[in-house]
Structure 1
Amino acid sequence: MSQNIKAFLPILIMIVGFLISPIFLLQSSAATTITIAPSNSSILVDVSQTVPPDALDPATGFYVQDGPLFNAIFQELVEYNGSNYLQVVPVIAQNWSTSNYENWTFFIRQGVYFPDGVQVNASTVWFSLYRTILMGQGPGVSNYIELLFNATQYGQTGYALPWGVANAIQQVTGLPTTKNATLAAQVLASILSHFNANNQTIQKIMEYPYQAVVVKGPYEVEINTLEPYRDFLLDLANWWGAIVNPVYVDQHGGVQPNSANSYINDNGMNGTGPYVIKYVGPSLSEILLVKNPHYWAQNIANIPTVAEPAHIPIIDIKYGLSHTDRVEDFATNQAQISYVSLPFLQQMYSAYEYNKYVSFNQVFLNLGYQAAVFYLSLNMQVFPTNITPFRQAIAYAINYSALLSIFKFQNQTLAINYLGPISPVFPVYNEVMQLDDLHPFTYNPSLALHYLNEAGYEGHFYVVLPNGTAIGDTNGSQLPTLTIYALAPVNELEQEELTIIQENLQRIGISTSIKYVLPSVTDNWVTPSGTPAIVDLGWYPDWPDPIFQELIAQTDVLYGGISGNLAWVNISTLQQIYNTLPFLTNQTQQTLEVAKVYKILYQEVPYVYLPNPVNYYFVQPYVKNFVYNPFIGYYYNLMYYQPYTVTITQTTTTTSPTPLTTTSTTTSTMTMPSMTSTSTSNNSTLVYAAIGIVVVIIVIVAVVVLLRRRGGPGF
C-alpha cells in the first residue's frame, strides 16, 4: 500500500501545484483620473459666431448672432423664462397686468440702475420704446408695426410714429403735428435727443392718455396696442424691447427719425444687464465683456434666474473666425463654445484632444429643431411658377428622403421634414395637421410628371425627359433653364441640398442653374416681377408667434418680397382671414382659422419646404448651465465652470516567479492644457504568494507524515 502511495506522490504534488498556480499570477489594477478645466477660469471664449453683429445698438441690430451679446448687456420689462420661449418673467418690471390683451400695465422695479448710476423709471421706458420706433430701423419697424404704430400712416408718410404721440404733442404744445407727420417726427426726435423727464412739457406729453406708451406714475407705465394681441409680451421680451440709457444716448448723437445712431452701432452702449462692454475690435471682429461691477441685481433676492449676476468674469466673443480656427481653438481647449457646419462634426470631434476621455455627446449640444422654416419659394406671379400644377410638380419631384440623408450623423438624422409655413416646434403645427389630416409632401415622380404635363398644356410649353420623351404642349415652346437663387456664401450642406434638387428636377425634364447673390441684391426683391421665380432661402420668426410671424409673414401680400412673402402669395380669401387672425384672443377659434388657411396653401403650393435641421453647438464639458433660447441665443451670465473629471480603471494580470512587494502612487501633469492625470497602482501578490507556499508545504508534510505512519522504516 505504501509503495502505491509513494508512486502516486509525484502526481499528487503536480496536481496540487496546478491547482494553486493561479495564486502566483500578478494581479494589478490602476486608476487614472483625468481632469479637464479652462486654462483661465476667469474667461470664457466664444468662437461659435461665424459672422460679426450688424450693429451694437439694439434699435438697429437685427441678425441672429446679435442675440447672445444683446442678452448679456440689455434687459427688457419682461424676458423669456430661459429656454421656455412661450413664457416670460418680469425683469425691469416688477409685475404686469392686462384685462383685455390691449392695455398692459407695468410697475417698474425700484432700484434698477445703469452702470453710470442713472436710474430706470417709467419715463425711461417711454423714451426707449419711442426711440426704437422713431429710428425706423429693422427691429422697430418689423416688430411694432400694427401694434404700436400704424402701418397705413407709415406707408403714406414714411415715418414710424408711435400711435397717438402726434395728438399728445399737439394737445400739449399747440403745434399742428396731427396733420404734419414730418413736424411730429422732428418734435419727437428733439424731445428724445434732449430728454428731461422733469421738464413739465415733456411730462405732460408722456402722461397724455391716448397713445402707445403712457407714463402713469414714477414707476408705472401703460403700453397700449392698436389691437388686442395675446402674444404681445413675447414680442416685448426681445432686444427691441431693451430699456436704454437716455443720458448716454443724448451724449452720443441723440435720436433722428429714420436714422441709425452710428456711434452706438460701432461702439455699443451699456444697459442694465449683468455684463458691460470692455472692448470692441476692428469691424466688430471681437467684443470683450466684463462682469457689470455695479449690477443692480447683485444682492437682490427673488429675481428671475435669467437676471442672475454673472458667474464668469470675462466673456471674449470672437466673430467670423475661419473654420480651421474654430476647430483648432475648441480642440486645444482655447475656446469654450464653437460651431462647425454639419458635414464637419466628425472632423471637430476627431481633432478634439480629449476625445479618448469625453464622448461626442458630452461636447455636442443638440438643442432641438429650429423655430424656423427653410424653403424653395415659387413666385406665384411670374412664369412658369405662376401655374399651380407646375408648383405641384416641383413639390412631388423632390426626393425628401435623399435630402434628409445628408443630415445624418452617427445613425441619427439631425433634421425633420414638415409642411410650412409654420415650423414644427410650435404646438399649433401638430394641431392643424391633425385637423386637416395633412402630411408633408413625399417623393412621387409619377405624380410629378402628371402635374408637369398638365402645366405644360396650361402654360403652352413642353419639357424633354432624360429618355427623350417630350411631355406637355409640344406645339408650344420648350421650357427654358430656370435659375434657382441662393444667398451667398453657402455652406457645403446647402450645396448638397441644391445638387439633389437639381438632379431631381432634371429627371422630370426641368433644367436648372444656381445663382448665388449677396444680401444687398435681395433688398431689391420688392415687386413680383423683380423677385426671382425660385429662391432657396429660410425664414426665422422674430418672436414666437407662429401665426403673425410665420404664417402671415410668408403668405400675406402686405409682406410681399424680401419682407417675408417671397412667393408673392395674394389670395383674397386669405387676405380677409388675415385682417383679424393674429388678433383673435380665442385660441380655439384661431387654430380653426389657421386650419382653413393650411388647406388652401396645401393646394396652392407657394413654397416647397426643405428639412429643418437641429440647432447645436460644441461646448466644453466643464461649462455648466448652457441655457439656450432660439429667439435670443444663450445666456452668458448663467454659465459657470465645474472641472470635468473622469476616472479610468485598468486591471492587468501577469505571471511572475517573484512576487511584487510595492504599492505605488504617481501624480503627473499631462502635456495637454488644463488637464491633470493621477494614477494609482496596487499590487497584492505578496499575500497570495505567501499563502501558496504555505499550502504547498502543508500538503507535502502531510503526505510524508502519512507515508511514515503507514510504511514505517521501509519508507
Structure 2
Amino acid sequence: MKLRKGISRTLVAGIIVVIVIIAAVAFISLSRHPTTTTPVNVTHTTNTTTTKTNVTVPTTNVTSIPSSITVDEATPPVSVDPASSFDVAGGELLQNVYQTLVFYNGTNTSSFVGVLAENYTVLNNGTTYVFHLWPFITFSNGDPLNATDVWFSVYRTMLMNLGISVYVSQGLSVNNGLGFVGKLPSGATGTIELPNGTLQALEYAGYTFPSNKTQAYEQAAYDLAYILSHFNVSNQTIQKVMSYPYQAVVVVNPYTVQFNLQYPYSAFLAAISTSAGAVVDPVFVDEHGGVQIDTANTYLSTHALGSGPYMLETPLGQSYVILQANPNYWASKVPQSERNFMLAIPKIETIVIDYQTNEALRISDLQSGKAQIAQIDIIDLPQIIGSQGISYIRTHTHYPIMYNGTYGTVYVWGPSPQIDFLAIDAYQYPFNITNVRLAIAHAINATQIQQQVYDGLALSYVGPNDPSLPFYNSSIQGYTYDPALSINLLTQAGFSLTLPNGTTVNPGGTPFPTIVLTYQTGSTALQDEALIIQQQLAQIGIKVQLNPESTVTIVESYLNPPNSSSYPAFQLAANFPPVLSPIDPAIYLMSQARLHHGNPAFVDNPEINSLIIQAVRTDNPVQLQKIFNEITELSLQQAQYVWLDDFIAYTVTVHGIQGIYYSPGFDGLFYATIY
C-alpha cells in the first residue's frame, strides 16, 4: 500500500518513517514505455567527474494527437501537498504538477537524471551534494524558481514531518538525523525534525537562544517556521540564514544549492526523487496558511501550484480531477539535445482523471471509449484482451511486451516494486499468541492466490524486501504451506477447532474466535484474494469475517492504539515503496515508530529497530546484505507478516495510446510523454 503522508507524526527515537500505501493492488497503472524513441544526452556530475547518461524520450510520429484523454482510477487522492501526501493517487498528481531536483533514470533505480537540476556533484565521500539548477525555471504562474525555493521546500517538509518526509530528513536533521523531542503546536510532546545547523544559522544572522539545548532547539524550530511563513528573499536576515555554510541545506547562489549530510546515506537521491523532495512556491504557501511544525496545510492538501508539465485545475474533493498542460512550462527552453523524458513537453492538453471505485464501470468505460486508460485488475484483463492474451503474457519471458486485444492494449513492464501481504497486529487477542500467527502463516497458500487471483502474473517472495530491490536474498525460505502444522500449532496454544467436515479438534480447548480481515475497497483482485484467504483459513477451523473499507477509513483507524479493537488487527495490504531502496520496505513495514501510517502489523523488535538504523547509515554493500538478511530472518520469527505476492506491472489503454514511459519510481502515469 502506498499511502504517504497527511497526518501529523508525533513519535520519537530511532528511525521514523511512514509510508503507506494501503492497498494499491496489482494494477498498477504504472507507467510507461515509449513506442518510438530518440536518444538524448543528459549531463550530471558525480564527485568531480562529469559523465553523460543516455536516456530516451518519445517522439511524436502520428498525425492526430487527442486534445484530452480520460483516465479511470480506483482510488482518489488523500493529499496533493508534497509535504503531506502519502498515497499513490496523490503521488501521481504530484509527479505531474511538481518537480524534484533529480529523478530515476527510467527503470534504473541506482542512476538519476536531472530535472530541476541541470547537473549535480557528489563530494566528501557521499556526504555533500551540490545541485546546479537550470537558470530559467518558473512555477506555472510565472514566479521564478531558484535555490531559495529549494531551501524553503526542504525545510518546510522537514518541519511539517508528515508522511514520507522522514526519508528526506535522514541525515539532515539534528541529532544525527533523528530530530529532537520538543513541544508541538498542539501542546503535546513529539519529534521535531529540525534541520541540522539551523540553530547556528540563526545565530549567525543575529538570533539569540537560551543555554538549555532542548529549549534552544525548540525556539530555533519555531523561529524557522516563522521565517518560512513570512518568507521574503529580499530580507537580508533571511538571506544570511540561508547562506550559512554549515547547515543541512545551503543557498550558495541563486542557482546553486548544497546539501550537507551527517553520514553517507545511500538512498539520498532516491529520497529526494519522491514527492517529498518536490519544490513548492513559497509565495503560494504563505498566501495559504504558511508553515506549522508537525501540522498539515489544509489548503495545499487540496490545491497545488508547481513547476511541472501540468497544472491541477480542480481541487481535491470531487470524484475527478483535471490536469491542464502548463502554458508557461520552462522546460521548453531546455535544448532538445539535453532534454530527458522527465522534461518532456506535454502533447495532450487536458487529462481528466475519474476516480471510479467500481471495477465494472472502469471496464465498461474502457470498452466504450469513454476512458482511454483505466486501472483494471489482472483477473479482469481477459475482458479487455481475451484469455489468449493472458496466456501469451504469462508465458512471455522478456519484458516489456505489448498485447493488443479486442478492446484495448496492455503494456507489460515486468516485476514491479509492489508487494502484497497480510499484516497481523500482535497486540490484540488471539494474534498476541505467536503460535496463532505462525498457524495463519502456514495455512496460507500464496501460490494458489497468485494463480487464481493474478493469473500467474505475480511472483512469490519473502519480505520485507521486494525481489526487484537490491540485497533481496532468494535463498531465504519463507513459510511452508502446511495446514496440518497449523492445526497442531493452534491446539498447542489451547484452542478447540471445528473443521469443515465437522470434526472437532481438541474439544476441551477454548473455541477459536471469529477474526476480521480488513482490506481496501475498489479492487476485484483484493476482494477475491480476501475470499481465498477466508477459505484457506476455514480449512484449519478459523472463521474469517471480511471487512472491506475505504483507504481513508483504514488510514484513520491507524490513529488508534494497536491494542484497540478499532485498530485493524488482521489486514490484507500492500506496499509500493516511494523510495526504491531496501531501506524503504524495512522502515515502512518493520520500524517501531509507525507514526499513524507505517508498520501496519506494529512490529516492535529491538534487534530490527537497531538493524534499520544501521542500514540507513551505511552504503557498504557487504554490511547491507548482512543487515537485510537478518531483518528477513527476524520477520519470519515474528510472524506478523505473511508475504503473498510481488506484482507484474502493466498499463491498460485503448488502442492507439502511445508514449507511455515506464519507471518503477512513478506512482502512476507521467502524462507529458503520452500522445
Q: TM-score, normalised by structure 1?
A: 0.74
**1:290-329, CA deviations, whole angstroms, 9 ceiling, x for partnerless residues?**
2433424345241323212222333333333754543343
Determine if the alignment matches structure 1 residue 631 to structure 2 residue 665: yes
Deviations 1:197-246 (A, max 9, x none): 23221111112233221122332221123432011000101222112222
Kindly indicate whether the alpha-carbon contact (under 8 Å) linking 2:77 and 2:316 is maintained by their aligned counterparts in 1: no
Which of residues 73, 78, 92 is equivalent to 1:49?
73
Report the 3-state secondary structure (helix = DSSP H, G, I; strand = E; otherwise coil) of the residue aligned with 2:100.
coil
Counterpart CA distance in 2 for 1:208 and 1:267 is 33
Residue matched to 2:198: 165
Partner of 2:467: 424
| Rounded Cα–Cα distance in structure 2 between residues aligned with 1:332 and 1:506 | 40
**Is 1:86–2:110 an aligned residue pair?**
yes
Task: Tell me the residue number matched to 2:48.
Answer: none
**Which residue is 1:297 aligned to?**
332
Amino acid at match of 1:377: A
Asked if residue 449 in structure 1 is aligned to residue 449 in structure 2, the reply is no
Contact 1:95 1:108 in 2 (8 A): yes
Which structure has the bigger radius of gyration? 1
* In the alignment, structure 1 residue 558 sits paired with structure 2 residue 593: yes
Q: Alpha-carbon deviation of 1:627?
A: 0.9
Deviation at 1:420, TM superposition (A): 1.4
In the alignment, is residue 59 of structure 1 matched against residue 80 of structure 2?
A: no
Q: Verify: 1:502 aligned to 2:534, yes or no.
A: yes
Does 2:270 align with 1:238? no
Given the alignment of the two structures, is residue 125 of structure 1 paired with residue 163 of structure 2, yes or no?
A: no
2:331 and 2:343 in contact (8 A); partners too: no
| Counterpart among 477, 499, 505 of residue 439 in structure 1 | 477
Q: Secondary structure, in 3 states, of the residue corresponding to 1:48? A: strand
Find 1:389's aligned residue among 407, 422, 435.
435
Change (3 A) 1:508 1:229: same
For 1:113, the equivalent position in structure 2 comes to 138
Tell me the matched-pair count.
582
| Matches of 1:520 and 1:553, distance apart in 2 | 14
Give me the identity figure in percent: 30
Aligned-partner SS, 1:265:
helix
The one-letter code matched in structure 2 to 1:415 is A
Tell me if structure 2 keeps the 8 A contact 1:377–1:566: yes
Aligned AA for 1:289? Q
Task: Note if 1:76 corresponds to 2:100.
Answer: yes
Q: Distance in 1 between matches of 2:312 and 2:515?
A: 48
Rounded to whole Å, the distance in 2 between the matches of 1:124 and 1:521 is 32
1:402 equivalent to 2:402? Answer no
1:39 touches 1:334 (CA, 8 Å); kept in 2?
Answer: no
Does the CA-based 8 Å contact 2:443-2:481 persist in structure 1?
yes
SS of equivalent to 2:332: coil
- Counterpart-to-counterpart distance in 2, 1:577 and 1:141: 17
Quote the offset at 1:375 in angstroms. Answer: 1.6
Deviation at 1:396, TM superposition (A): 1.7
Match of 2:643 among 609, 630, 634: 609
Structure 1 match to 2:321 = 286
Counterparts in 2 of 1:113 and 1:144: CA distance versus 1, 3 Å = same
Query: Paired residue for 2:14?
Result: none
Q: Take 1:420 and 1:373, find their aligned partners in 2: how far apart are those partners?
A: 8
One-letter code of the match for 1:399?
A: N
Q: Deviation at 1:529? A: 5.2
Q: Distance in 2 between matches of 1:563 and 1:253?
A: 24
Tell me if structure 2 keeps the 8 A contact 1:49–1:320: yes
In the TM superposition, 1:239-278 aligns within 5 A as 239-269=275-305, 271-278=306-313
Residues 1:371 and 2:417 aligned together: yes
> 1:183-262 maps to which residues of 2 (within 5 A)?
183-262=219-298
- Closer/same/farther in 2, CA of residues 533 and 279 from structure 1, 3 Å limit: closer
What is the CA distance between 1:504 and its match in structure 2?
1.9
Answer 1 or 2: which has greater helix percent.
1
TM-score (norm 2): 0.78
1:611-660 CA-partner distances (Å, limit 9, x unpaired): 233333211332222012333222211123xxxxxxxxxxxxxxxxxxxx
Tell me: CA distance 1:253–1:598, structure 2 relative to 1, closer, same or farther (3 Å).
closer
281 and 192 in structure 1: CA distance in 2 versus 1, 3 angstrom threshold: closer
Residues 423, 573 of structure 2: 8 Å contact kept: yes
Q: Distance in 1 between matches of 2:556 and 2:522?
A: 15
Taking the aligned partners of 1:340 and 1:257, their CA distance within structure 2 comes to 40
Partner Cα separation in structure 2 for residue 532 and residue 319 of structure 1: 25
Counterpart Cα distance in 1 of 2:198 and 2:321:
39
Q: CA contact under 8 A between 2:357 and 2:522: conserved in structure 1? A: no
3-state SS of paired residue (1:198): coil
Residue 39 and residue 199 in structure 1: after superposition, are their counterparts in 2 closer, same or farther (change >3 A)?
Answer: same
Equivalent residue of 2:104, what SS? strand
Aligned amino acid, residue 242 of structure 2: M
In the alignment, what sits opposite 1:543?
579
Answer yes or no: is 1:359 the counterpart of 2:405.
yes
Question: What is residue 306 of structure 1 aligned with on the other side?
Answer: 342
Measured in 1, the distance between the counterparts of 2:406 and 2:415 equals: 19
Separation (CA, whole Å) in 1 of partners of 2:269 and 2:195: 17
| Contact 1:408–1:414 under 8 Å retained in 2 | yes
Q: Which amino acid aligns with 1:101?
A: G
SS in 2 for 1:170: helix
> How far apart, in 2, do the equivalents of 1:572 and 1:54 lie?
32
Give the letter aligned to residue 501 of structure 1.
I
Question: Structure 2: 5+ residue runs without aligned partners?
Answer: 1-60, 183-188, 387-402
Change (3 A) 1:164 1:360: farther
Given that residues 47 and 321 in structure 1 are in contact (C-alpha distance below 8 angstroms), is that contact kept between their aligned partners in structure 2?
no
